[in-house]
Amino acid sequence: MQAPIFLKRDDVTEAEMLIRSFGPEAGLEAAERAESSRTIGNALQFCRWRQIERLIVLLSAARVQGTVH
């Protein structure tokens, strides 16, 4: 899995809100928002929502991914 990059604090907050609101479907909600942004030609928002989708996957994982410091 590819880790998210270029996240802002607001993106983390958005991911947490989606997880609280949509539970296990939060990643799908972020993916739908990404596709909506793509449809209207907003590449920046498309990329942002894809990064948030990846962050949701990481935050929802039962096990730690990558190196633990």
Contacts 24+ apart (CB under 8 A), 7-15: 7/51, 7/52, 7/55, 11/48, 11/51, 11/52, 11/55, 12/55, 14/52, 15/52, 15/55, 15/56, 15/59
Task: Say what angle helices 9-22 and 43-60 make with each other, to 10 degrees.
Answer: 60
Chain segment 20-32, per-residue pLDDT in tens: 999 999 999 999 9
Please name which of 38, 31, 23 lies closest in space to residue 54, comparing C-alpha atoms: 31
Could you report the per-residue pLDDT of 34-54, keeping only the tens digit for each? Answer: 999 999 999 999 999 999 999
Domain ranges of the chain: 9-60
* Residue owning tokens 């997880």: 19
Q: Average pLDDT for residues 2-11, to the nearest whole number?
A: 78
